[in-house]
């Protein structure tokens, strides 16, 4: 199956969702290249970026599940590079 490199940016405005976010990311850990998290204490939000190498449907499903959590916003950017390994 063709795989793509993508980045999911996550804004966490509801810190009660952190455990659910971590659970979803753990379920997809085989596809995660890297993760960064920045707590923005001034506004009491967190900014998380996830780099993935996965089939497009997996990336879209993960982004959708994250974005459907209350107080969570996501945006996904895809690389034009496609691999089939």
What is the rounded average pLDDT for all residues in the chain?
Answer: 95
Cβ neighbour number for residue 15 with a 10 Å cutoff: 13
0.85 cut: is pTM over it? yes
Whether residue 81 contacts residue 1, with contact meaning beta carbons closer than 8 Å, is answered with no
Q: How confident is the model at residue 6 (pLDDT cuts 50, 70, 90)?
A: very high
Determine the 3-state secondary structure of 57 from DSSP. helix
Q: Which CATH number fits domain 3-80: 3.30.1490.20, 3.30.70.1150, 3.90.1150.10, 3.90.380.10?
A: 3.30.70.1150
Q: How confident is the model at residue 1 (pLDDT cuts 50, 70, 90)?
A: confident
Res 45: pLDDT: 97
Domain residue ranges of the chain, discontinuous segments joined by +: 3-80
Contacts of 29 (CB under 8 A, 6+ apart): none
Asked if the model's pLDDT at residue 7 lies above 90, the reply is yes
pLDDT digits (tens, 9 = 90+) for 21-56: 999 999 999 999 999 999 999 999 999 999 999 999
Q: What is the distance between the alpha carbons of residues 85 and 74, in angstroms, rounded to a whole number?
A: 27
Whether residue 52 contacts residue 32, with contact meaning beta carbons closer than 8 Å, is answered with yes
């Amino acid at each position: 199956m063709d795989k793509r490199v993508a980045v999911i940016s996550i804004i966490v405005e509801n810190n009660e969702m952190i455990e659910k976010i971590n659970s979803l990311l753990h379920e997809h850990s085989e596809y995660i290249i890297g993760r960064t998290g920045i707590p923005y204490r001034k506004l009491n939000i967190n900014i998380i970026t996830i780099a993935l190498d996965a089939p497009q449907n997996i990336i879209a499903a993960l982004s959708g599940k994250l974005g459907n959590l209350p107080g969570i916003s996501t945006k996904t950017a895809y690389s034009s590079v496609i691999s089939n390994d």
